[in-house]
Amino acid sequence: MSEQISETGRIAVGPLDALPDGSQTEVMVAGQSVVVINDGGQYFALRNNCTHQHFPLLGGEVVMGRITCEKHGAKFELSTGKPKTLPAVKPVQIYRTDIADGVLYVLEL
Ligand code: FES
């Protein structure tokens, strides 16, 4: 995890080419760990915390727009944070992303 710079409510993740398709990284947003994902050229950001038993989502397999928690297999929709399979029943907090001058940002809540 690299040092993040907050400017006007947005956290720089880094240059777009540092997060190629299919990759993930972690940034800290207002003290919260957030996993940032490039899925097919679309960027998503979710709190790095499964709502089932608080296992990190970072590194979970991403298929069909969903990330799988490696602990017990719950799947969450990247675009909404909604759980799509048990054992999770509560949504994961999502964050909006932004791109400016080739740099990816996560917006604070
Ligand atoms: S901690 Fe994620 S599915 Fe149980």
Quick: pLDDT tens for 1-35: 444 555 678 999 999 999 999 999 999 999 999 99
The listed CATH number (1.10.3720.10, 3.30.930.10, 3.40.190.10, 2.102.10.10) that belongs to domain 6-107: 2.102.10.10
Domain ranges of the chain: 6-107
CB of 52 within 6 A of ligand 1: the answer is yes
62 CA distance to ligand 1 centroid (A)? 15
Give the pLDDT confidence score for residue 2 in this predicted structure: 45
Report the share of the chain in percent with pLDDT over 90.
Answer: 90
Write down the pLDDT at residue 3: 43
Q: Quick check: CB of 14 below 6 Å from ligand 1?
A: no
Ligand 1 centroid vs 13 CA: distance in angstroms?
26
Q: The pTM is what? A: 0.92
Average pLDDT over every residue of 39-60: 98
Neighbouring C-beta atoms of residue 1, cutoff 10 Å? 9
